[in-house]
Amino acid sequence: MSRFFLGVDVGTGSARAGVFDKNGHLLASAKRPVTIWHEAGSFVEQSSEQIWRAVCDSVREAVASAGIPAADIAGIGFDATCSLVAVKSDGSPVAVGPSGDPDRNIIVWMDHRAADEAAEINAGDHDVLRYVGGRISPEMETPKLLWLKRHLPASFAAVDQFFDLADYLTWRATGSLSRSICTVTCKWTYLAHEKRWDARYFRDIGLEELAAEGFSRIGTDIVEPGSALASGLTVAAAHELGLNPGIAVAAGLIDAHAGGVGTLGAADANDLSDVRSRLAYVFGTSACSMASNDSPVFVDGVWGPYYSAMVPGLWLTEGGQSAAGAAIDHLVTMHPASSEAKAKAEAAGLTLVAWLDGMATELSPDLTRSVELAKSIHVVPEFLGNRSPYADPDARAVIAGVGLETGIADLISLYVAGLCGIGYGLKQLLEKLAEDSIQPDLIIASGGAAQSNLVRQLMADTTNLPVAIPETDEPVLLGAAMLGATAAGQYNSLRDSMKAMSSLSKVFRPAGGSIETLHACRYSAFEALQSADRHVRSLMMDATTPDPDL
């Protein structure tokens, strides 16, 4: 009997499902939108029930489109954004925001309501912070839990289980309360290398209840990604998904980490030893850069090291930016020509960014020279702060060199300059990693924002490293399917699944010469503007600080 594997990916704006064979070939995929509530700027919420319905609809359509019997699905893997889900023991949702709406029971990863709590935690002497680059982010879960306790104590008390979204999905599918090492280590301060929570940390920051309860509300059974959970798919979940009960369900991954699993083992060698010399770069709404090592490497301002959080047995070092694809989307809509360009894009059946990308490619068929389209414009695209290497959530975007031009040509210049800014942020991270002897020789790019050849070439030229792309068009879904293949026993380990189910397609190499020199100059400008933002914020902070003598 043929064996196929489902990968389910829940991103910020959609739920997707893909059906793969044992060699990693995609048969069919489907997608459903996910509702997002934005409130008061930094509040971003979702609904676990709505997400689950989107998952079920996507799975049903993907399996039907693949033209295979449901009985041929042997394993399922889930990945999702690192968002906080609050539910009671029966699965009913608990409100997490001032709206009081229980359907809005997810604090989304990009929600920065807990910035003050994160700053307060960072002011303390907590050993666990060594494993998040020295500073915890408001995107992580313990600051959000502390915010919930302080601002909505009734909701905090009513919650029986706090889940990372990927763990919620596996619980919904199997009834298992097991958490993935990936989620709790990367976002909750679990010390995977010691197989324990740090009770002192939770007591010191004001979450002593969780420690006193033996961490039963955030996870006591922590397992490696790809581990088979409980007895597989429950009867109830199988009915909702249109599948057979008992199908193997794997412990999941954060979505970016699924992209890493789906690409880093791509075949061009006899083993996975070169995983350690590769950087997984997942360029989507946010950007995530992941390097694997045999031993822990502590890099100030860079998340990790996390043991077994992506590839079992290896230490993960993780950097990136909170806004990447989202930063480019926002940037181009700020331009006076955006409405005209959007109308042209819609007429062509494209998004604004995709249309601009095509126009830039037409103007510069030699992609190595596309940087010249940026002209005088320079962009530091830190609209949502700097995740790494500065761990500065208060950083903001800087745009320089803009004139009075209002046409589409100038909008294209802004678009290309924004992409360069994303690339220089990656270069900055690579330089920081190199200071601690992490020096990848190949970037493997994936994610929705990394689908164009223009973007890939600019990434190679801005970082001065070759950029490879995987054979599959859906590396994140593939990474999730690899989890399912591992849980189903198709392969002995997740590493074996990675080796068997992925391969590389094409490599984009740095241009060198005068283009390298131009990028070096623009990179210096990028760092100068970034420094100027820090200086300006310092000046304004001094100006708004009350005079103690008054």
* Cα 44 to Cα 165: distance, rounded to the nearest angstrom: 14
CATH no. for residue 201?
3.30.420.40
Q: Are residue 23 and residue 133 in the same domain, yes or no?
A: yes
Mutual angle of helices 513-544 and 408-435, in 10-degree steps: 90
3-state secondary structure of 404: coil
Backbone angles phi, psi at 15, to 5 degrees: -110, 135
Render pLDDT for 500-514 as a digit per residue (tens, 0 to 9).
Answer: 999 888 999 999 999
**Cβ distance 120 to 48 under 8 Å?**
no
Q: Is 350 exposed, middle or buried (0-12, 13-18, 19+ CB in 10 A)?
A: middle
* Cα 312 to Cα 221: distance, rounded to the nearest angstrom: 16
Q: Which of 25-29, 136-140, 519-523 has the lowest mean pLDDT?
A: 136-140
Q: Are residue 239 and residue 331 in the same domain, yes or no?
A: no
Q: Are residue 95 and residue 184 in the same domain, yes or no?
A: yes
What is the distance in angstroms between the CA of the first residue and the CA of the last residue of the chain?
Answer: 81
- What number of other Cβ atoms are within 10 A of residue 202's Cβ? 23
CATH no. for residue 516?
1.20.58.2240
Residue 487: DSSP 8-state: H
Q: Are residue 528 and residue 392 in the same domain, yes or no?
A: yes
Of 211, 231, 253, which closes a domain?
253
Instruction: Annotate 259-297 with b (16+ C-beta within 10 A) or e (fewer).
Output: bbbbbbbbeeeeebebbbebbbbbbbbbbbbbbbbeeeb
Render pLDDT for 192-223 as a digit per residue (tens, 0 to 9).
Answer: 999 999 999 999 999 999 999 999 999 999 99
Amino acid at 431: E
Q: Are residue 78 and residue 206 in the same domain, yes or no?
A: yes
Q: Tell me: pLDDT of 25 over 70.
A: yes
3-state secondary structure of 5: strand
Q: What's the total number of domains in the chain?
A: 2
pLDDT at 272: 45
Sheet strands (E) in 22-108:
26-33, 37-39, 43-46, 73-80, 84-87, 106-107
Say if 437 falls within a structural domain: no
Q: Tell me: pLDDT of 543 over 90.
A: no
Residue 41: DSSP 8-state: T
3-state secondary structure of 113: coil
Which residue is listed with tokens 């109830």? 236
Domain of residue 19 covers: 4-253
What are the C-alpha distances in Å from 277 to residues 44, 53, 80, 113, 306? 36, 40, 26, 37, 17
DSSP string of 449-470, one letter each residue: GG-SHHHHHHHHHHHTS-EEEE
HSE-CB of 45 using CA atoms within 13 angstroms: 23
Say if 454 falls within a structural domain: no
Q: Are residue 203 and residue 338 in the same domain, yes or no?
A: no
pLDDT at 273: 43
**Cβ distance 255 to 280 under 8 Å?**
no
Residue 324: DSSP 8-state: S
* Cα 251 to Cα 86: distance, rounded to the nearest angstrom: 19
Q: Tell me: pLDDT of 8 over 60.
A: yes
Q: Tell me: pLDDT of 368 over 70.
A: yes
pTM for the complete prediction? 0.88
Once rounded to an integer, what is the mean pLDDT over residues 411-428?
Answer: 97
Say if 105 falls within a structural domain: yes
Say if 467 falls within a structural domain: no
Q: Are residue 225 and residue 338 in the same domain, yes or no?
A: no
The contacts of residue 54 (CB under 8 Å, 6+ apart) are 10, 14, 15, 32, 33, 34
* Cα 166 to Cα 164: distance, rounded to the nearest angstrom: 6
**Cβ distance 84 to 161 under 8 Å?**
no
Q: Are residue 329 and residue 249 in the same domain, yes or no?
A: no
CA-closest candidate to residue 376, choices 402, 399, 357, 397: 402
What are the C-alpha distances in Å from 360 to residues 15, 285, 353, 481? 30, 21, 10, 35
Q: The tokens of 76 are what?
A: 């399922």
The contacts of residue 415 (CB under 8 Å, 6+ apart) are 328, 331, 332, 353, 356, 357, 360
pLDDT at 269: 47
Of 236, 253, 270, which closes a domain?
253
Say if 475 falls within a structural domain: no
Render pLDDT for 464-475 as a digit per residue (tens, 0 to 9).
Answer: 999 999 999 899
Q: Are residue 238 and residue 329 in the same domain, yes or no?
A: no
pLDDT band at 542 (very low <50, low <70, confident <90, very high): confident
Say if 61 falls within a structural domain: yes
What are the C-alpha distances in Å from 405 to residues 399, 410, 417? 15, 6, 15
* Cα 311 to Cα 317: distance, rounded to the nearest angstrom: 11
Which residue is listed with tokens 């912070």? 129
What are the C-alpha distances in Å from 120 to residues 73, 126, 136, 347, 521? 47, 11, 10, 50, 38
Render pLDDT for 241-295 as a digit per residue (tens, 0 to 9).
Answer: 999 999 999 999 999 999 999 998 876 644 444 777 899 998 988 898 999 999 9
Q: Are residue 402 and residue 538 in the same domain, yes or no?
A: yes
Amino acid at 430: L
Say if 402 falls within a structural domain: yes
Residue 108: DSSP 8-state: -
Of 194, 226, 253, which closes a domain?
253
Average pLDDT over the chain reads 94
pLDDT at 325: 92
* Cα 4 to Cα 17: distance, rounded to the nearest angstrom: 13
Mutual angle of helices 255-264 and 494-501, in 10-degree steps: 60
Once rounded to an integer, what is the mean pLDDT over residues 10-31?
Answer: 96
Render pLDDT for 149-200 as a digit per residue (tens, 0 to 9).
Answer: 999 999 999 999 999 999 999 999 999 999 999 999 999 999 999 999 999 9
Q: Are residue 246 and residue 367 in the same domain, yes or no?
A: no
pLDDT at 270: 44
**Cβ distance 22 to 15 under 8 Å?**
no
Q: Tell me: pLDDT of 111 over 50.
A: yes
Q: Are residue 14 and residue 133 in the same domain, yes or no?
A: yes
Of 72-76, 279-283, 470-474, 545-549, highest mean pLDDT = 72-76
Q: What percent of the chain has pLDDT over 70?
A: 97
Render pLDDT for 327-365 as a digit per residue (tens, 0 to 9).
Answer: 999 999 999 999 999 999 999 999 999 999 999 999 999
DSSP string of 232-300, one letter each residue: SS-HHHHHHHTS-TT-EEB--EEHHHHHHHHHHT-BSSSSSGGGGGEEEEEESSSEEEEEEESS----T
